[in-house]
């Protein structure tokens, strides 16, 4: 009875909230948006009083919240009324550029070849392996389609095979809240052996094929504990480590040599590492070097030494060695010095060589180093603007290094690089049906920010594109956490490119595209550089006639959604359409609530508003708190009800408040996926339908509903 009552209440609330959505018989009358109820809440901090009328939307269990979100969804559907055919056409275009039945490049690990494949009509990948050779019979290890039966969402997190290849540890999330359950499957029988734990993050096998280490999260989704589980023991799992400092998360992993299990403890600015021989799982983890504020270091092993990437002598990291028997800082010996112009992002260590993953001049590089001779060389790449990433390299004793290469015009390509012959062998390039790379061009542009800093911009367009200001543009950016936005191929952009759009990425400060100094220049008290860099990049593109203000569409997600909210407040006249996905827009309120996921750990990225000066700075740009009574561009805001990274209530509150302030008649649409998380729909077909919705919104608002062939003048 109780559930029935709640259901009827939801129906009633949805009906009452959506009553304003009804369109009269006069087809010209625009749909009217729902109006969220006002419940004033006094939020006074450091003498600054803010009245938050929509704080109530944080109560996820309140049926009125879901009713309001459903009303907004109904309004979104009303705005999109008449675009069903366009959405279906776009979906077919997107789908037409994907090889639906496909196989990923197999990689070797422990006597098996592992790979994943997809089948036409199925939403999720199928994970498989073959023993000894690729001609052997296929064994399915995990079919995510089977796991997803009866579920609205399904994601697989960790996947690790025991040393004897008999057991698979894997984790699943069936809500989108990124709350994973750890399972162990016997690959010999296909039977599920044990469900090990809930709320699991990382996991690693010991060498005995029965001991499994894993981390778990607390109520704020901080991974704070490491446990040891022994299969079949019947004993409670041993708590090995608990991190008390709320800024720090813990993670566990196995080194490529398989000799050691590493416990990584890190905040946004500081790290600490501990290690345990994998063949002694009952032993104690040993500390490598005690944590020191602002000191980050990361390790891998080679022989009797650790290779340690450390920022102790400079923000872009250097590489040192240390004996495993006594790896403390006093015994560190420099192998590669700190270089102000080169970011040492990572290292991959093998028996005879190691690879430095580096960034220089906003481009990635892979540098091979021979352990015996010290000889060093970089892998050559054919295009001036590209991305290159380490791929699946599970074997320690090898002469081959696998990497992925792509650009805005070259689809993702997997290569094996022979470190002795210095040659790359193409194993597979993603097949993109209906795509001819000769019809598209990409380049690297440099905008000048208002303080004189040069901002790299990556751009792609059709070969018939002209810099005459007449073309529409889709511009995106991120600019947070030191994350570099890679220059990648995206077949999902083809429907827009084929309609005359250019697609561009502004590599703004706050990201890591130009090294750690680039990150430092766009965080904490320098965060506003991120926003002004994006605005200056957009103005550069308009001034140089790559587009016009009237044709500029901008998009960002998560912290990039914060970017969208901030720049829209600052320069609403500069953009025709703004798409903000899972946007972090209620910065002050979220950062004041230590119970929310990520909050305390991110004091070192955004600042701690419990401190007056940091509060004042965050308050000055927080999008929700800086909305004003003025004209805004057309805005589409997207979120998910089960998002654990940026809670649904941030975009919901943002839209509710903006509706009361905007003086224009441009559409403001909130679309909520009620059964997904931070990344949206989990199924690949459902995900494409979400993109088709976004594109249909853009094209219909810009009066560009015609087929691509017509608009491109084919």
Q: Is 537 a catalytic residue?
A: no
Backbone angles phi, psi at 301, to 5 degrees: -110, 155
Q: Is 387 a catalytic residue?
A: no
**Do the bridges between strand 440-448 and strand 634-640 make them parallel or antiparallel, or are there none, so unpaired?**
unpaired
C-alpha span between 326 and 288 (Å, rounded): 8
The Cα-based distances of 644 to 215, 484, 577 in angstroms read 18, 23, 27
CB 411 within 8 A of CB 491: yes
Residue 581 pairs in a beta bridge with 557, 638
Kindly name the residue from 407, 678, 682, 694 that is annotated as catalytic: 678
Q: Which helix (H) or strand (E) holds 606?
A: helix 603-606
C-alpha span between 405 and 386 (Å, rounded): 7
Q: If DSSP codes are grouped into helix, strand and coil, which group holds residue 418? A: strand
Q: Which helix (H) or strand (E) holds 634?
A: strand 634-640
- What is the number of residues in the chain? 714
The Cα-based distances of 519 to 307, 351, 555, 594 in angstroms read 25, 33, 20, 24
Sign of CA dihedral 692, 693, 695, 701: positive
The encoded tokens of residue 2 equal 């109780």
Q: If DSSP codes are grouped into helix, strand and coil, which group holds residue 146? A: helix
C-alpha span between 234 and 216 (Å, rounded): 20
The encoded tokens of residue 260 equal 């050691």
Q: Which of 483, 633, 494 is nearest to 570 (CA)?
A: 633
Crossing angle of helices 84-96/684-701, nearest 10°? 130
On the 0-12 / 13-18 / 19+ scale of CB atoms within 10 A, 269 is: middle
CB 288 within 8 A of CB 273: yes
Contacts 24+ apart (CB under 8 A), 103-107: 104/428, 105/391, 105/392, 105/414, 105/427, 105/428, 106/130, 106/134, 107/391, 107/392, 107/393, 107/394, 107/402
The Cα-based distances of 290 to 252, 328, 603, 604 in angstroms read 17, 8, 22, 20
Q: If DSSP codes are grouped into helix, strand and coil, which group holds residue 71? A: helix
C-alpha span between 41 and 51 (Å, rounded): 5
Kindly name the residue from 558, 640, 644, 682 that is annotated as catalytic: 558
Contacts 24+ apart (CB under 8 A), 189-194: 193/167, 193/231, 194/231
The encoded tokens of residue 20 equal 């304003």
Kindly name the residue from 52, 173, 513, 643 that is annotated as catalytic: 643
Angle, vertex CA 315, rays to CA 380 and CA 349, nearest 5: 50
Backbone angles phi, psi at 335, to 5 degrees: -110, -45
Q: Is 238 a catalytic residue?
A: no
The Cα-based distances of 469 to 456, 540, 564, 699, 706 in angstroms read 20, 12, 23, 18, 20
CB 45 within 8 A of CB 615: yes
C-alpha span between 689 and 675 (Å, rounded): 15
CB 210 within 8 A of CB 204: no
C-alpha span between 604 and 298 (Å, rounded): 19
Catalytic residue set: 558, 643, 678
């Amino acid at each position: 009875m109780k559930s029935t009552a709640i259901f009827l209440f939801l129906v009633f609330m949805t009906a009452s909230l959506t009553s304003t959505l009804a369109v009269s018989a006069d087809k010209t009358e625009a749909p009217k948006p729902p109006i969220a109820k006002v419940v004033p809440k006094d939020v006074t901090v450091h003498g600054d009083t803010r009245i938050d009328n929509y704080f109530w939307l944080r109560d996820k269990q309140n049926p009125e919240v879901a009713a309001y979100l459903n009303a907004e969804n109904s309004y979104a559907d009303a705005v999109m009324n008449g675009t069903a055919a366009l959405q279906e056409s776009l979906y077919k275009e997107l789908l037409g550029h994907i090889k639906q039945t496909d196989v990923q490049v197999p990689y070797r690990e422990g006597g098996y070849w592992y790979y994943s494949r997809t089948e036409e009509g199925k939403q999720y990948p199928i994970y498989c392996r073959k023993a000894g050779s690729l001609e052997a019979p296929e064994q399915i290890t995990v079919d995510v389609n089977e796991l997803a039966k009866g579920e609205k969402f399904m994601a697989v997190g960790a996947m690790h095979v025991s040393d004897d290849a008999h057991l698979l540890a894997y984790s699943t999330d069936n809500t989108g809240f990124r709350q994973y359950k750890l399972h162990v499957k016997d690959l010999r029988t296909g039977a599920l052996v044990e469900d090990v734990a809930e709320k699991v993050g990382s996991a690693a096998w010991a060498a005995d094929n029965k001991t499994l280490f894993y981390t778990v999260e607390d109520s704020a989704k901080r991974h704070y504990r490491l446990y040891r589980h022994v299969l079949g023991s019947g004993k409670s799992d041993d708590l090995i480590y608990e991190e008390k400092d709320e800024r720090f998360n813990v993670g566990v992993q196995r080194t490529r040599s398989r000799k050691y299990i590493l416990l990584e403890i890190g905040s946004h600015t500081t790290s600490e590492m501990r290690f345990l021989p994998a063949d002694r799982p009952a032993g104690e983890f040993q500390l490598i070097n005690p944590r020191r504020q602002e000191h980050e270091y990361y390790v891998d092993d080679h022989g009797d030494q650790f290779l340690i990437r450390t920022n102790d002598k400079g923000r872009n990291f250097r590489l040192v060695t240390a004996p495993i028997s006594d790896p403390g800082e006093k015994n560190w010996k420099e192998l590669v010095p700190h270089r102000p112009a080169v970011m040492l992002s990572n290292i991959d260590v093998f028996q005879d060589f190691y690879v430095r993953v580096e960034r220089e001049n906003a481009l990635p590089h892979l540098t091979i180093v021979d352990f015996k001779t010290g000889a060093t060389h970089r892998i050559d790449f054919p295009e001036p603007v590209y991305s290159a990433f380490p791929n699946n390299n599970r074997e320690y004793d090898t002469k081959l290094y696998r990497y992925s290469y792509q650009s805005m015009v070259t689809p993702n390509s997997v290569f094996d690089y022979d470190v002795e012959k210095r040659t790359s062998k193409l194993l597979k390039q993603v097949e993109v049906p209906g795509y001819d790379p000769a019809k598209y061009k990409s380049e690297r542009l440099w905008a000048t920010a208002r303080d004189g800093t040069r901002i790299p911009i990556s751009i792609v367009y059709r070969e018939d594109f002209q810099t005459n200001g007449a073309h529409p543009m889709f511009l995106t950016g991120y600019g947070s956490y030191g994350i570099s936005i890679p220059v990648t191929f995206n077949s999902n952009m083809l429907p827009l490119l084929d309609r005359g759009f250019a697609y561009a990425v502004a590599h703004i400060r706050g990201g890591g595209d130009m090294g750690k100094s680039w990150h430092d220049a766009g965080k904490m008290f320098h965060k506003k550089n991120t926003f002004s860099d994006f605005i200056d990049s957009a103005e550069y593109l308009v001034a140089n006639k790559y587009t016009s203000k009237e044709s500029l569409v901008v998009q960002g997600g998560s912290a990039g959604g914060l970017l969208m909210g901030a720049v829209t407040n600052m320069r609403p006249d500069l953009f025709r359409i703004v798409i903000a996905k899972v946007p972090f827009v209620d910065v002050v309120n979220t950062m004041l609530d230590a119970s929310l996921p990520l909050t305390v750990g991110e004091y070192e990225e955004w600042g701690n508003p419990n401190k007056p000066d940091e509060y004042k700075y965050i308050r000055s740009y927080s999008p929700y708190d800086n909305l004003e009574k003025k004209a805004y561009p057309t805005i589409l805001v997207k979120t998910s009800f089960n998002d654990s990274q940026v809670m649904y209530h941030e975009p919901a509150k943002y839209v509710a408040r903006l509706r009361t302030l905007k003086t224009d008649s441009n559409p403001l649409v909130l679309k909520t996926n009620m059964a997904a998380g931070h990344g949206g729909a989990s199924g690949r077909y459902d995900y494409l339908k979400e993109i088709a919705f976004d594109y249909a919104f853009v094209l219909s608002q810009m009066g560009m509903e015609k087929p691509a062939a017509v608009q491109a003048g084919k």
